[in-house]
Amino acid sequence: MARDRSQLTLPWAAPKAPRKLPFGFPYERKPFLTPAEIAYYQMLRMIFSDRYLIFAQVRVVDLCQVLDRPFNQGAVNKIDRRHVDFVLCHPRTFKPMVAIELDDSSHDRPHRRQKDAFLDEVFRVIGMKLVRQRVRLAYSVAEVTEKVEAALAAAA
As to burial, measured by CB atoms within 10 angstroms (0-12 exposed, 13-18 middle, 19+ buried), residue 129 is buried
DSSP tag of 138: S
The pLDDT, as a whole number, for residue 139 is: 85
Let me know if residue 14 belongs to a domain.
no
What DSSP letter does each residue of 21-67 carry, written as one string?
A: PPTT-------SS-HHHHHHHHHHHHHHTTT-EEEEEEEGGGT---T
Contact in structure between 18 and 42 (CB atoms under 8 Å): no
Let me know if residue 15 belongs to a domain.
no
The pLDDT, as a whole number, for residue 69 is: 75
Short-list 139, 57, 67, 126, CA closest to 97 = 126
- Tell me: the pLDDT tens digits for 99-144? 999 998 788 788 889 999 999 999 999 999 999 999 987 889 999 9
The pLDDT, as a whole number, for residue 5 is: 47
The pLDDT, as a whole number, for residue 8 is: 45
Let me know if residue 10 belongs to a domain.
no
Let me know if residue 134 belongs to a domain.
yes
Let me know if residue 18 belongs to a domain.
no
- Residue 153's SS3 state is helix
Answer whether residue 70 shows pLDDT above 50. Answer: yes
Let me know if residue 36 belongs to a domain.
yes
How many alpha carbons lie under 13 Å from residue 103 in its C-beta half-sphere?
16
- Tell me: the pLDDT tens digits for 23-56? 777 888 999 999 999 999 999 999 999 999 999 9
The pLDDT, as a whole number, for residue 126 is: 95
Mean pLDDT of 67-82: 86
- For the entire predicted model, the pTM comes to 0.80
Domain range for residue 88? Answer: 32-155
Counted domains in the chain: 1
11 versus 28: the higher-pLDDT residue is 28
Contact in structure between 79 and 67 (CB atoms under 8 Å): no
Let me know if residue 147 belongs to a domain.
yes
Mean pLDDT of 55-67: 94
Instruction: Return phi, psi of residue 117, to 5°.
Output: -65, -40
